[in-house]
Amino acid sequence: MPTSDRRVALVTGASRGIGKSIALRLARDGRHVVLASRSAPPLNDLKSQIESSGGSASVLAVDVADAPAWGKAVESVADQFGRLDILVNNAGITKDGLVLRMSDEDWNQVIQTNLTSAFVAIRAAARAMMKGRFGRIVNIGSTSGVVGNAGQANYAAAKAGLIGLTKTIARELGSKGVTCNLVAPGFIETDMTANLPQPIKDGVLQLMAVKRLGQADDIAAAVAYVSSDEAGFLTGQVLCVDGGMTMC
Ligand code: NDP
């Protein structure tokens, strides 16, 4: 399929972990995937991997926490391709600590990277989506944003904020063919969780109905459906993909 006929998907945090799996899956499903995160080399490697399997991708090295630059970058993607069909706000960080010891800096950095960046991207993408009368916005939240998590006041607040953002955007843009949903992973084995102590991982495993830790591909499969053409009647939803850990 020529690039101009493919749906264009912008995936943030595509350099590794969940974002990388989402990018690979959307490329396999025939999307042109714009791979975004801060550092170009891993994105170039991923682009080569996608192209060698017959897919189509391009690279966008950008810091989503730099709101003005990030907003312009999203607009430039829509301008370059003449369309922007799918936006996956996946980039995220943790700066964990109990609230009594949490610095303003750690609070602000997590809110800026995990929540404000999604608002900035949606605002920048909305015009192109409305013009095309098609859009699939997928925010990657967390079960921490639904049920809370000790030590993650900043992270849980950002992820809970994404739920309100998701539902509001769903209401604002639904009549224009644009849906907005949130996929909330539970515990997924990526760099983000790699350094957690084994007793914590064992404890989490006990809570899982399916008795295994999640993999990035588990989240990619959910995003593939939510961002598909056939999911046009699904909007404003929070989909917890957590092996039955919270059943939220
Ligand atoms: P990783 O730490 O493995 O990857 C994070 C990604 O985000 C990287 O690609 C990183 O790229 C990118 N990123 C971070 N900060 C920025 C920034 N300022 N600008 C651009 N890109 C940035 O995390 P996961 O794959 O585990 O997590 C992905 C999403 O899923 C996050 O939103 C996370 O909160 C959420 N999630 C993860 C869970 C888990 O158990 N793993 C559970 C629940 C939710 P680079 O550093 O190159 O910029």
Q: Could you give the CA distance from residue 65 to residue 116 in angstroms, rounded to a whole number?
A: 8
Domain count, the chain: 1
pLDDT tens sequence across 129-151: 999 999 999 999 999 999 999 99
**Mean pLDDT for all residues in the chain:** 97
- Give me the phi and psi of 212, to 5 degrees please: -150, 155
Q: What is the pTM of this model?
A: 0.98
Asked if the structure places residue 24 within a domain, the reply is yes
Strand extents, DSSP E, 118-232: 135-140, 178-185
Mutation choice for ligand 1 from 38, 46, 245, CB with most ligand atoms inside 8 A: 38
Residue nearest to atom 34 of ligand 1 (CA): 92
Asked if the structure places residue 199 within a domain, the reply is yes
| Cβ(228)–Cβ(137) below 8 Å | no
Question: What is the number of the ligand 1 atom nearest to the C-alpha of 70?
Answer: 19
Ligand 1 neighbour 142 (Cβ under 6 A): yes
Ligand 1 neighbour 19 (Cβ under 6 A): yes
**Pairing of β 86-89 and β 238-241:** unpaired
pLDDT of residue 5: 85
Asked if the structure places residue 248 within a domain, the reply is no
pLDDT of residue 1: 66
* Short-list 63, 83, 82, CA closest to 73: 63
Asked if the structure places residue 2 within a domain, the reply is no
155 catalytic per annotation:
yes
pLDDT of residue 211: 96
Residues spanned by the domain of 197: 8-238
Asked if the structure places residue 142 within a domain, the reply is yes
Asked if the structure places residue 243 within a domain, the reply is no
Strand, coil or helix: 37: strand
Ligand 1 neighbour 38 (Cβ under 6 A): yes
Asked if the structure places residue 139 within a domain, the reply is yes
Ligand 1 neighbour 17 (Cβ under 6 A): yes
| Cβ(141)–Cβ(207) below 8 Å | no
In 10 A of CB 199, how many CB atoms? 8
- SS3 for 124-135 is HHHHHHHHHCCE
Q: Could you give the CA distance from residue 88 to residue 12 in angstroms, rounded to a whole number?
A: 6
Q: What is the CATH number of the domain that holds 84?
A: 3.40.50.720
Q: Which residues of the chain have pLDDT under 50?
A: none
Strand extents, DSSP E, the chain: 8-12, 32-37, 56-61, 86-89, 135-140, 178-185, 238-241
Asked if the structure places residue 1 within a domain, the reply is no
